[in-house]
Every structure is written in structure tokens, then in C-alpha cells.
Structure 1
Amino acid sequence: MEIKAPDLGVDSAEVSEIMVQVGDVIAKDDNIILLESDKASVEVPSSAAGKVTKISVTVGDQVSEGVVLIELDSDAGGDSQEASAEETDKAPEKAPANKSEGDKSHASEKSKDASASAATDTNASKPAAKEGTATTHALPDLGVDEAQVAEIMVSVGDMVTADQSVLLIESDKASVEVPAPEAGKIEKILVKAGDMVANGQDFIVIIGSDADASTNSADAKSDEADAPDVNKEDSSGKQASQTTGEPKQAAVKSTSSSNEVVANAGGKLTESQVNAKLTEVYAGPAVRKLARQLGVDITQVSGSALNDRILKEDLFAHVKNSLNTQQAAPASGSGASSSLPKLPDMSNVEIWGESETQDLTRLQKVSIPQLNYNTYLPQVTQFDVSDITETEKLRGELKGGMKAEGVGLTILAFIVKATAYALTQHPRFNSHLSDDNTQVILRKSVNMGIAVATDDGLIVPVIKNAQDKGIKQIAIEIGELAVKARDKKLSTKDLQGASFTISSQGILGGTAFTPLVNWPQVGILGASEATMQPHWNTKSQTFEPRLMLPLSLSYDHRVINGADAAVFTRYVAGLLADPRRILL
């Protein structure tokens, strides 16, 4: 019998761990494979019971729905159980060879009965709070402040195992399956599909399984017998290491100062240093790759999954906590309030007048924490104008042919190309300030964020490696990303990795605006509506009508000074006036 991958919720996922071996006899719903994607980690259960005869995948493989994971001999599982039952039934029929042996056997049986009775009495004398007790459980850290319940995967009365997926939670960033915190029977589900939930909110009531409590008790006794002179934390760590087959994190980590925590989360480690530390923890390949990308010291991250396995959500929570620690320090030092005061009571109509409450969209809600980062950035805006008369003529000559190919050529494609080239010549604008404010991290590739307005709010998809792409390819990607953004089909990868952002308000009117720097970037370029204006021609000594494009460059003054901003903005304006200069 072939056990195939179910619907994973993504196109493909990576095999992070194989949890069974050839020859193992497994039951239905036993976890067999651990899969990881950019969105979540999922343990795949077996859809049948039997003996594992073949494992069809290896760690690191990319699998999708319908791919064969393992093969089972379903008869082997049944035969084994039947044989065991037959041996149990036949055992009492064997007679002792003589009376003496019979007496010994009888005495032995009495001794066993007495031992069983004593064990029963001992268990009965223990508190029964963990056995058959209904416990209310709260949601873990979801990685965002709020998310929506997309699907409830179990029903009241269902029996679940620990870490079995029970809820599917969706935010604008990712979809995450919430596992059952313990094994047992579902007594009550406290949320419903469509609800907005937050970290720590109660979501399910489970009556704990007696079998699990008995197993835990037996495991504890076994540990005490094997290692009587070892303290409880060491014994627990040893047991977890044996269970998972992976190196175990230290149970108690030495505490460090807030500055050290921030430095660990900020990206100061080299890739070789991170790789060396990764061997000390229990995490899958996708999590390890993400740790390298974020520069996180993964030995400082606490795992939330079974046996302290580290998930991607744990990495995000670690970075988030570190950033909060960093931002709280200057706020408390200056005596400034970290947040605005509460609104006054506006129920008095005579004072405040009539009012109406409208809910923010999910996108607007999750954007608020990111926008709050601007409070901590000293931002300045540099204004300039570019004469794009000749560029617009070139666009007019090209757009007919491109339209026939299904490509919409807008002035934004020229702005992206010119800005990407300018960033390669002025790399400080394509950088990030280190957490300890002592270094500038220069990006070698230009990943250009493009602000797109949707019905739910502003969203910023990313054009990767814009410096290597021509205007036609950039125009194609702008069109594709805009459609995906408005249809709500952008993936997480489409929204990550931007090093600089462009916000164009060309069709909305206005003469200029002050865009907000999207932390951790250090600059953003705004483009307003191009208009015909009189421009003085020094050669002919006359005014000429020229198409002028207003530019607004906002920048982080900690990294960029005013003179450099003026030079950069003028440089971009010159490239837009004559795109042929990019070819030089």
C-alpha cells in the first residue's frame, strides 16, 4: 500500500525529517514525515496501519500533493497483532512438568498479581488532575499581532494526538497550522472560521488522555532508574535527545544583556559561524536556511514544537522580541512615551458630535506595527524635478509594439530602471544600518519594492535583481505583480527582501509628497504626476514647454546626509531625462 502526500496548502514542500524506518510497524495517524515550506512545518500522518516496507523519499527532497512517501504492508501489521493475541490465549494452556513447577508457577502468578495490585494502588493514590481533566489551551505566538481562522480541522468529540493540526490560521504574510497542545478528546472549540485571533487567546478545550499520562509516568520512572544521580533537567534533556535523534539545546541558556540579544538577532554573524552553531540545535533545513538569511544566532532561539524543535515562527518571534527590546531602550532613556495616549471618551454627542466606527482591513492592521518604526527614524525629504520630455517621446514610440506583445509600458518602468542603476553607483542608498549603529550593511543586489494601492490598503511587492533587467522585463514584472496584488495572490516571496522602495502617485495628481522610509531600508523615492511646465532654454533664451516629473526622496539621516541625498536625486533626474546614459 502506498502512502501519498496529502494537500499541503502549497505547491511543494521540503522533506525535513523522516520519522519512521523500514521494518517499523506503525498505526494509522502515526506521523511519518516532517515537511517544511516557507509558510509552515507540517507532520504528515499515515493514512493506514502496517509495516513500513519502503521509504520513497529522502531528506531534502521537494514533494507535492500525490507524491508517494512510503509503502506499507498492511497485512504484516495485522498478522503481528493476531499472532500476539494467539500467543496470549495459548499461554495459560501450558501445564507445568510436575507439581513442584506448578507450585512455583502458582506462586509466581500470585506474586505478579500482588505487584499489579500494588502498582494500581500506587497510581490511585497519585493526584489525578492530569488524567481525564479538561484543560483550556491558548494560541501560541503566531508571528503577527492578529490573524484570521481560515479552517477548523477537527470537531468536538474527536480524539487528537499531540501536535496534530487542529486550526489553519491565515494572515497577509503566511498560512500556519496550529497543532494540538496535548493528546486527548476535544471538549470544546472556542473559535470559529472567520474569527480574528491573537497570540495567547484561548482557542480549544481538551480532555487529556489517560494513556499519555501513564506513558509520561513510566518514562519518568525509567529515567530515574537509569540516571539516579543526574538532576531533573539533565535527565529531561537526555531523554529528548534520545527521542528525536537530534542534538538537544541546553535546557537553561545563560542570560545576556539586551544589547547582546539585539546583536545576535541583527545579522553580525558570518555564514560559517551560523552554520557551526546550527549543529547545536534541533531544526529543519528550511529553518536553518532562514536563520542564515536573517543572521540569527539560532542557539539563542527557543523552540516551540515537540522536543523543542525550532520553527520559522520561533525565529520571527525572536527577531520581533529583540527589536522591541532595542526600541524600548532609547524610548525609556529619553523619557518619551512609547505610544500615544488613549482616545478621550467620545460618547458625549453634544461635545464630539455623531460618529461611526469602521473596522480596518487586515492588511491595514498588520501594517501599523511596521509604520510605527518610522517614529524612531530621523527622516528628511529631498525634492527635485526631472525633464522627461525626451523619455516620454521614447516611451510613445515603444509602447505600441509592446502593447501588441501584451506588455504595458509605463513611465514607472523607466523610473525603476534608472533608480536601480543609480543605486549601483551610490550603494549607500541600497543599505541597512546595523542594530548597534556601528556599521552599514551594503546590499550587492537591488531588490526594488513597488508600492501598489489595493482596495484593502497599500502593499509592496518586490522586483528582484532589478539592476540586471531591461526596461521591457521590468515592465512585464510590474504588470504581473500589480495583477497579483489586486487579486490577493501575492506569495510571501513576492513581498520579501526589498532593499529600496519606489512609490508612484503619477495618476493621482499632486505636485509632491513625503513618502515614509520602509524600515530597515534607508531610502524611498516618490514620483508625482508629470505636468507640462515652461522651462527656460539657455541656448535659445526662450521658455519652452517641457514635461516635468516631480521627485521626492525620503531618507534615513543616520546613514545619509543631505548633500549626498541632493546628489543622488539629481543623478536619478538626469538618468530619467536621458535614459541612454545608463548604457554608458
Structure 2
Amino acid sequence: MEIKAPDLGVESAEVSEIMVSVGDKITENDNIVLLESDKAAVEVPSSGSGTVSKIMVSVGDTVTEGTVLLELEAGSEAESDTAEEQESTQSDAQDTDAKDAKAQPVDEADQEDEQQQEAVEDSSDEPEAESKTYPLPDLGVDEAGIAEVMVSVGDTVEADQSLLLVESDKASVEVPSPVAGTVEEIMVAAGDSIVNGQDFIVIKSSGGKKTQAAPKKDSVQPAKTEQKTASKQAAANQAKNNDQSSSAPAAQSKPANTQVNKLSEQQVNAKMTDVYAGPAVRKLARQLGVDITQVEGSALNERILKEDVFDYVKAHMQTTSGAAAPSSNTVAASGLPSLPDMSKEDIWGEIETQDLSRLQKVSIPQLNYNTYLPQVTQFDLSDITETEKLRGELKGEFKAQGIGLTILAFIVKATAYALMQHPKFNSHLSDDNTQIHIRKTVNMGIAVATDDGLIVPVIKDAQSKGIKQIAIEIGELAAKARDKKLTAKELQGASFTISSQGNLGGTYFTPLVNWPQVGILGVSEATMQPRWDAEKEKFKPRLMLPLSLSYDHRVINGADAAVFTRYIAKLLADPRRILL
């Protein structure tokens, strides 16, 4: 019998958990799988009764209505009647044997000898214990990370006992032991990235016999529940301590908070593994910045749903919207203390209050991230005299086509080319500060000044576009920005940013890195300056463009920044270098 996915209310959903195993006996309406979509999490009940003979899906698979989930060997009343008849027959036979026992002493002795001989033969068939290295099974993804190693060297394990907890963006999977035996070597550790087929453990098998050292699943469950409750209680106490310390004077609370909030990666992983939540819910919590260990699950066995995460955020917002909220929100957002009381005019003078624009309000949280970035700015000058001559020659031709050709188009092209040659500047630092994610294409953010404030639309795949196409897109995006017609897609995905002050004046400035990017190029107004000509031994007037490169010092060192800025300056001085 095939058990299929019912109408899910959505086009497709992801298998978050398989709640049965091959060999399990289930009845109609027993839950068999947990499916999650962007809208809801649904436990799918069985439409029949029987023994699970085959599971047709895996955690992380996408299913639709009618997808076969598993196969059952259906039980019947006839089978149970037959079983009862067999039991009755066996009972009658045992009674008869008991009556005839005295009459057949020799036969009974023979039977005991045969049973002993069979036991000896069975024991001789058991293979000898041997040590063997075992590879990881198919995880359903190309690569995953180890969240927890659930055994230690020397532990005695049963076949199918969980050894590792592996997590990817799609699913959380427990890797079972392929055999029963003793763990001799563990070849991976928590935090490692692993792939399918990778050797991960050495086990000295015990001849296929399951040991009794490992506790049963039912006996482990209360301990895990108790551990989870203790973990949540500890987290709650820690949050309470943080709240109490934040109410103390700033000079005293800041060091204390830093010490309390600092958790090791092992502690973070331990907290996360105690949480019963699917991959989609964990991803949502990360996106919202929610500590999922603080969320109470409302589903069966305290499983956390997306609705629980939203309820937690809503409750948190309501809690912080009281009388003391403005002060606490300001401290949390920027790290600055609250403003002093400015109601006394004889001290502060007359004050007018103006509301920030919507764009400014939205930008403040993003700008606050700069507090946590160790930024440095590298300055340089580019001689764009020849490039400006080229622009002047092309400007009339472009204008006839309705295209405005500014020096910014050349800057975007040169910077995109430089980023492909120096990919570290086109990257992002990982959350755990151990890797960088290098972008293979350049999505260039262009800062545009509007009446409401600064906005940064994005030119996608700038490295593959010519100066003409870049000039067209700069004009279109700038017009949309000023008319407030930019789409969300046109504002997302930047890998690097250019902030040009055009002809507003000034020499140099320090642009702020737009996290999670690691660099931003500031461009000031070009001016005519005297430059020494060594061949003619005299000064010549040259058009010099000031460049200001700010960068995240965690990813980029000063030497690399100097080389990169000088490289851009050379490309702008002679754009023909890009053709090489």
C-alpha cells in the first residue's frame, strides 16, 4: 500500500522530519512525516495501517500533492485470526506433550542435544570482531557542517545508534552507526565541513550483535527533555542577568555584559542542538536575529513553529515599547547613552524638533553596523587627463543617443575590472570569522543623493558590461532613485560600492563600509594640479582625481589596500589597460 501526500494547501513543501522507520507498525492517522513550507508546518498522518516496508522520501526533499511518501505492508483480520489459531494449536500441542512427557524421556533428551548443537553452530557462524573505517552516507546535500559529535572514543554503540548531528541549509540529519561495536577513532569534529562518502569513524565491530550498553531511545528522551529544560532555564537566567546589568551605570555594565554575552562556538552549537525546530524555522530565526533557544515551542514535544518565532518577536517588541523603551532601544542600536534632558532653555537654548525622513530612519540600523567594523581608509590620486579627453570625444556621440556619459561610468568599469583581479575586495566575511565568501560577479552599488537622503541602487554583473551600457544603467537607476521608483531587487545584492561626490567639492573623505561588504570607494571632485614631468623637467597641468578606499581590516590588510587603490588609479589613467 502506498501512502501519498495529501492536499498541502501550497504547491510544494519540504520534508523537515521523518517520524517513522522501516519496520515500524503504524495505524491509520499516525503521523509519519513533518512537511514545512514558507506558510506553515504540517504533520502528515497515515491513511492506512500496517508495517512500514519502504520510505520513499528523505529529509530535505521537496514534495507535492500525490507524492508517494512510504509503502506499507497492510495487516488484516485474517492474519490475526491465523495467528490466534496458531497460538491455540501450539497451546494444545504443549498440553499433549506435557501428558506424554513421561512416556517419551529419550525423545526429550534428544531434542535438548539438538538444541545445544544448533546453539553451538549459530555461535560459530558469528564473524570475528574487526576494526573498519566507515564513510558518511548520502546526506542529501553536496556539503554540510557537523553540529555535534554524539559519541566518544571507547564508547560502545549499537547498529543504527546516532553518531553525528549534521546540519545544512536544507535539513538537520543524525548519522547512524552502520554496525554495533566499539568506537576506536573519530575522524571529524564539531564545526567541520563534510561531504558525502567522506571517512568519518573507525569502529571495531562486535560480530553484528547489538550490545546492551547504549540506552534505548525511550530512556534517552526524558534525559534530553530534562537537558533542554535546563538549557532554557540557564538561558533565561543569563538574559535576566543581562537586563539587570544593563540598568547599572554604563561604565560598570559594559565590561560585565561583554563577559556574560561572550559564548564559545562549542557552547552555541550545544544550545542549538537542544532546540526542536526544523531548518526553515531555524533559517527564519537567523534572518530575524532571534536567539531560537529563547523561543517556546507550541507544537507536539515543544517543537518550534514559525508562528512561535513571530509571536516571540511580537512579544519582545511590545515589551520594549513601554516607557523605558526609547532609552533601551537607543543603547541596543548604537551603543550610545540616552540624550540628556534638554527641556531647560536657559541651559540648552531654543530647540526645534524635526522628524527624520523614512529613508534616514531605515538607514540608521545599517549604519550602526559600522560601529563593529574595524575600518581603515587608503587615499590615492589618479591622473585622468587622457581619460577625460576620451570622454569629451565620446560625449557628443552618446548624447545624440540620449545617453549621459560621465566619468563615473569609467570609474565603475575600472573598479569592476580591478575587483575581478583582486577578488578579496569582492567578498564577505563569514559569521564565524573563519572564511570569506568570494563573489564571482561584481554587483556594483552606486550611491545616489536624493531629496530624502542617500540611496544605493545596484548595477548587476558590472564586470561583463561595457562603458556605454554602464552609462545607460547609471542614468536609469539615478532617475528611478530620484522618482522613488526603484524596485527591491534593484537595491539588493551589492558586492562593492562606489560613492562619488561629483563636483560638490572637497578633496578626500572617509566613506563608511556598507556591511556585509568589505570595501567602498569614495571619489571626490577632480582638479587641475601641477605634476612634475621628469622627461621635460618641468611641471605640467594634469587633471587629478582623489580616491578614498575604506575597507574592513579583518579581511583586508593595508598593503593589499594600497596595491588595489593604485591599480584602480592606473586603470583610470589609461583605460586601455582593461583590454589587456
TM-score, normalisation: structure 1? 0.47
TM-score, normalisation: structure 2? 0.48
